[in-house]
Structure 1
Amino acid sequence: MGKSNRKAIYSWALYDWANSAYTTTVMAGFFPIFFKQYWAHDLTANESTFWLGVANAVAGLVIALLAPVLGAMADQGGLKKQMMLSFTSLAVVMTAALFLVAEGQWLMAVLVYLFGAIAFSGANVFYDALIVDVAEHHELDRVSALGYGLGYIGGGILFAVNVLMTLHPEWFFLADKAEAVRWSFLSVALWWALFTLPVAFFVHEAGGSGRMGLVASARAGFHQLSDTIHHLRSLKQVWLFLIAYFLYIDGVNTVAHMAVDYGLSLGFEADVLIAALLLTQFIAFPSAIAAGWLGERFGAKRVIIASIAVYAIACIWSSTMQNANDFYWLAAAIGLVMGGIQALSRSMYARIIPRKQATEFFGFFNMLGKFATVFGPLLMGVASVVSGSARFSILVIVALFAAGAIVLYYVDEHRQEVKS
Structure 2
Amino acid sequence: MASDLPGKRGSILAWALYDWANSAFATVVMAGFFPIFFREYWSRGQASETITFHLGAVNSGASLVIALVAPVLGAMADRGHAKKRFLAAFTVLGILGTAGMFSLGGGHWMRAAALYTLGIVGYMGANIFYDALIVAVARPQEYDRVSALGYGLGYLGGGGLFAICVALTLWPTHFGLADAADGVRWSFLLTAIWWGVFTWPLLLRVAEPGSALPAIGWARTTRAGWHQLLNTAHEIRRLRVIGSFLLAYWLYIDGVNTVIRMAVNYALSLGFGSQQLIAALLLTQFVGVPAAIGFGYLGERIGTRTAILLGIGVYVLATIWAANMHSTWEFYAIAAVIGLVQGGVQSLSRALYARLIPAGKSGEFFGFYNMLGKFAAVIGPLLIGLTALVSDDARLSILSILLLFISGAILLWRLPLHNIGANWSDSETSKPH
| Residue 415 of structure 1: how far off its partner (Å) | 4.4
Across the aligned residues of Structure 1 and Structure 2, the Cα RMSD in angstroms comes to: 2.6
Q: Is contact 2:67–2:374 with CA below 8 Å preserved after alignment?
A: yes
State the distance in 2 between where 1:106 and 1:260 align. Answer: 17
Q: Is contact 1:348–1:413 with CA below 8 Å preserved after alignment?
A: no
| Residue 384 of structure 1: how far off its partner (Å) | 6.5
User: Residues 414 and 203 of structure 1: is their aligned pair in 2 closer, same or farther, counting only changes over 3 Å?
Assistant: farther
The match for 2:426 is: none
Aligned length: 418
User: Residues 286 and 216 of structure 1: is their aligned pair in 2 closer, same or farther, counting only changes over 3 Å?
Assistant: same
State the distance in 2 between where 1:176 and 1:160 align. Answer: 17
State the distance in 2 between where 1:401 and 1:90 align. Answer: 32
State the distance in 2 between where 1:167 and 1:11 align. Answer: 33
Residue number among 213, 222, 227 corresponding to 2:226 in the alignment? 222
Query: One-letter code of the match for 1:244?
Result: A
Q: How does 1:356-395 map to 2 (within 5 A)?
A: 356-377=360-381, 390-391=394-395, 393-395=397-399
3-state DSSP of counterpart to 1:268? coil
Residue number among 154, 173, 176 corresponding to 1:173 in the alignment? 176
The match for 2:405 is: 401
Q: Is contact 2:25–2:191 with CA below 8 Å preserved after alignment?
A: yes
Q: Is contact 1:352–1:415 with CA below 8 Å preserved after alignment?
A: no
CA deviations on 1:165-185 (whole Å, 9 max, x unpaired) are 011111112222232222111
Q: Is contact 2:11–2:137 with CA below 8 Å preserved after alignment?
A: yes
Q: How does 1:82-93 map to 2 (within 5 A)?
A: 82-93=85-96
The match for 2:254 is: 250
Q: TM-score w.r.t. structure 2 length?
A: 0.88
3-state DSSP of counterpart to 2:216? coil
Q: Which runs of 5+ in 2 are unaligned?
A: 423-433
State the distance in 2 between where 1:186 and 1:375 align. Answer: 30
| Residue 42 of structure 1: how far off its partner (Å) | 7.9
3-state DSSP of counterpart to 2:24? helix
The match for 1:126 is: 129
Q: Does 1:194 align with 2:197?
A: yes
Q: Does 1:15 align with 2:12?
A: no
| Residue 72 of structure 1: how far off its partner (Å) | 0.5
3-state DSSP of counterpart to 1:372? helix
State the distance in 1 between where 2:49 and 2:411 align. Answer: 39
User: Residues 366 and 197 of structure 1: is their aligned pair in 2 closer, same or farther, counting only changes over 3 Å?
Assistant: same
3-state DSSP of counterpart to 1:355? coil
3-state DSSP of counterpart to 1:373? helix
| Residue 113 of structure 1: how far off its partner (Å) | 2.5
CA deviations on 1:223-260 (whole Å, 9 max, x unpaired) are 11111112221111101101111121122223333323
State the distance in 1 between where 2:136 and 2:150 align. Answer: 14
| Residue 300 of structure 1: how far off its partner (Å) | 0.7
Query: One-letter code of the match for 1:10?
Result: L
3-state DSSP of counterpart to 2:361? helix
Q: Does 1:346 align with 2:350?
A: yes
Moved more, 179-188 or 346-355: 179-188
The match for 2:280 is: 276
Q: Is contact 2:165–2:187 with CA below 8 Å preserved after alignment?
A: yes
State the distance in 1 between where 2:126 and 2:168 align. Answer: 28
| Residue 266 of structure 1: how far off its partner (Å) | 3.9
| Residue 91 of structure 1: how far off its partner (Å) | 1.6
State the distance in 2 between where 1:362 and 1:59 align. Answer: 19
CA deviations on 1:300-347 (whole Å, 9 max, x unpaired) are 101001111111222233344342222211111111111100000011
State the distance in 2 between where 1:47 and 1:265 align. Answer: 11
Q: Is contact 1:354–1:416 with CA below 8 Å preserved after alignment?
A: no
State the distance in 2 between where 1:319 and 1:53 align. Answer: 18
State the distance in 1 between where 2:74 and 2:160 align. Answer: 31
Q: Does 1:157 align with 2:160?
A: yes
State the distance in 1 between where 2:222 and 2:189 align. Answer: 34
Q: Is contact 1:280–1:332 with CA below 8 Å preserved after alignment?
A: yes
Q: Does 1:262 align with 2:266?
A: yes
Q: Is contact 1:351–1:414 with CA below 8 Å preserved after alignment?
A: no
Q: Is contact 1:238–1:417 with CA below 8 Å preserved after alignment?
A: no
Q: Is contact 1:244–1:405 with CA below 8 Å preserved after alignment?
A: yes
Q: Is contact 2:280–2:335 with CA below 8 Å preserved after alignment?
A: yes
CA deviations on 1:7-31 (whole Å, 9 max, x unpaired) are 1110000000000111111122222
User: Residues 182 and 378 of structure 1: is their aligned pair in 2 closer, same or farther, counting only changes over 3 Å?
Assistant: closer
State the distance in 2 between where 1:394 and 1:49 align. Answer: 12
User: Residues 303 and 187 of structure 1: is their aligned pair in 2 closer, same or farther, counting only changes over 3 Å?
Assistant: same
Q: Which runs of 5+ in 1 are unaligned?
A: none
The match for 2:314 is: 310
Q: Is contact 1:288–1:340 with CA below 8 Å preserved after alignment?
A: yes
The match for 1:96 is: 99
